[in-house]
Amino acid sequence: MLIKSIFTNSTGILTSRILGFTRDLLTASILGANIYSDIFFVAFKLPNLFRRIFAEGAFTQAFIPAYAKSNHKIRFSSVVFLQLFGFLIILSLLVTLFSSLVAKAIAIGFDQETIDLAAPLFAINFYYLPMIFVVTFMAALLQYKHHFATTAYSTALLNLAMISALLISQDMGKYEITFYLSYGVLAGGLLQILVHIYAMKRLSLCKIFHFKKHKKKEENKFYKNFMSATVGSSTTHLSAFIDTWLASFLMTGSISYLYYGNRVFQLPLALFAIATSVALFPMIARSIKNKDEDKALSLMKKSSLILFGLLLISTLIGIVFNEFIISLLFERGAFTSTDTINTALILSMYLIGLLPFGIGKIFSLWLYAKEQQFLAAKISVYSLGWNIVFSLLLIQPFGAAGLAFASTLSGFILFFLTIKAFGFQKFLLMFKK
């Protein structure tokens, strides 16, 4: 079942990423690497950051163990859904009202004229966040039932919507294109919701709302773990977010170089590490709940060995052929050969950290399944702190490439501390068997 689930996730992610690269190819060709691409990427960065934290980490890692142990699953899930969805709607309305302040806080290096251009895009894109929470909530219930296909393939709908927006608006002004792209993001979110509702109906999981009064012990424990998991699963994405923030002080195009380089880096990370962790986590959580740690360790060993080989090959290919990959994907239209060279260097800096980020993700599942989210959060905060230190040290001499390498160094620290928390002796014994 594990290999089948990993394959389902991987093929779904691959389909989505192929469409994602098609989207990025069109974006690079139509918008290029300039102020207009920068403001769109910054506006899309915030909801996309939360999407990755929600969908690839925090919510699922806190929800599935709590849902598995709950004696009142429908009641528990309905309360969590209504409370979090209501909070995100209110937050989105506040971002709409204060979009200029949000834009200024996120892209502090932009001048006022650029902030004014970016603010409306922030307001539009942020509504993707409550949409993706609805998707993630339904995806967690589907994963608990070992149904992965809908979620794995649904991100492709976001990319299709954005590709359609680009094709429709390609002959318009560049600033107008950014609005079409932003509304394409919302259209993609709506499509993702619809396909998940269909899958939920097929598996008879739509009875999620229950309003009977009850004790709040289960929800309180979930929120405690959820807050810790939010910090613990966000290191990679917050690192990229910090890169974007600091890059706003560098030459025009730096944000776009980091975005395109990180997009390529995220392909093997998502295709192999995230696909494996999504399939593995419900199995580990069930094994831990049933007090069968040997089975959980066996699953982790098998997964990490396969993942090590796949990520090592991906790293070597990516570094050796970095310029060829970037040129093949992006060098056309407004994206020049100089842009290719700058982006390729950043890609190599990111790829050095592919193995520690990927393998570390597998072993962090042990902590989440044991409901040690707070410990995982402490590890993540420590790693993020070092990422900030490395970024400030490397940005001046090496520019955007220094920011990418700072993220990689923090990945090694994250891996070391995760294995330490898991247990060095247990780690070594697991692979000796």
Residue with tokens 């195009």: 253
Does residue 209 carry a pLDDT above 80?
no
Question: To 10 degrees, what angle do helices 174-202 and 128-144 make?
Answer: 30
Rounded alpha-carbon distances, angstroms, from residue 220 to 38, 62, 184, 413: 40, 12, 36, 31
Q: Please give the tally of structural domains in the chain.
A: 1
Q: How far apart are CA 392 and CA 158, in angstroms?
A: 34
Residue bearing the bigger pLDDT, 188 or 9: 188
Write the CA distances from 10 to 6, 14, 148, 153, 275, integer angstroms: 6, 6, 10, 9, 5
Confidence of residue 416 (pLDDT cuts 50, 70, 90): very high
Structure confidence at residue 335 (pLDDT): 81
| Pairwise CA distance, residues 103 & 107, whole Å | 6
Helix 293-320, helix 254-268: angle, nearest 10: 130
Within a 13 Å sphere around the CA of 342, how many CA atoms are in the beta-carbon half? 22
DSSP output for 71-134: SSHHHHHHHHHHHHHHHHHHHHHHHHHTHHHHHHHHSTTS-HHHHHHHHHHHHHHTTHHHHHHH
Which stretch of 19-23, 213-217, 390-394 has the lowest confidence by average pLDDT?
A: 213-217
User: In angstroms, rounded to a whole number, what is the distance separating the alpha carbons of residues 349 and 250?
Assistant: 18
* For residues 242-265, average pLDDT: 82
Please report the pLDDT score of residue 107 as a whole number: 67
Range of the domain at 174: 2-432
For residue range 16-73, what is the model confidence (pLDDT) as tens digits? 778 887 887 788 778 776 777 777 887 887 777 676 666 556 787 778 777 777 777 7
List CB contacts of 385: < 8 A, sequence separation 6 or more. Answer: none
Could you tell me which residues come within 8 angstroms of residue 218 by beta carbon, excluding any fewer than 6 positions away? Answer: 66, 70, 72, 76
